[in-house]
């Protein structure tokens, strides 16, 4: 039976935040991690491999994009979570 729920994440059992609930949540998380890795690679690692100096402006731009992407992903996860985000100690609520 297909999961037609609107929620992609569920509140974590321990701690604060959410974790993937279904394949959509895992796919979104995987795409986010891949995008962060690619930005970091092309922003810092790839120039260093080719012996190029990484510019200050390029570093600032890379970190600005990473911070904006992370904030957007956290907001997206919060919107797609089945329940409130709060600190949890593992007890069923």
What's phi and psi for 23, nearest 5 deg?
-65, -30
Q: What is residue 90's predicted lDDT score, i.e. its pLDDT?
A: 77
Round the CA-based radius of gyration of the chain to a whole number and report it. 17
Position 1 confidence tier, pLDDT thresholds 50, 70, 90: very low
Residue 84 pLDDT exceeds 60: yes
How far is Cα 89 from Cα 92, in angstroms, rounded to an integer? 9
How far is Cα 47 from Cα 68, in angstroms, rounded to an integer? 22
Mean pLDDT in residue range 68-77: 96
More confident residue, 69 or 5: 69
How far is Cα 54 from Cα 8, in angstroms, rounded to an integer? 38
Q: 18-72 pLDDT, tens per residue?
A: 999 999 999 999 999 999 999 988 888 777 777 878 778 888 998 999 999 999 9
Q: Is 39 exposed, middle or buried (0-12, 13-18, 19+ CB in 10 A)?
A: middle
Specify the pTM: 0.80
């Amino acid at each position: 039976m297909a999961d037609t729920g609107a929620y992609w994440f569920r509140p974590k059992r321990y701690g604060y935040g959410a974790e993937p609930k279904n394949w959509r949540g895992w796919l979104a998380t995987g795409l986010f991690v891949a995008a962060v890795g690619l930005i970091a690679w092309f922003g810092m690692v790839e120039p260093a491999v080719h012996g190029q100096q990484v510019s200050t402006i390029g570093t600032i731009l890379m970190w600005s994009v990473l911070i904006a992407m992370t904030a957007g992903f956290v907001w997206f996860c919060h919107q797609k979570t089945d329940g409130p985000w709060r600190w949890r100690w593992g007890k069923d609520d």
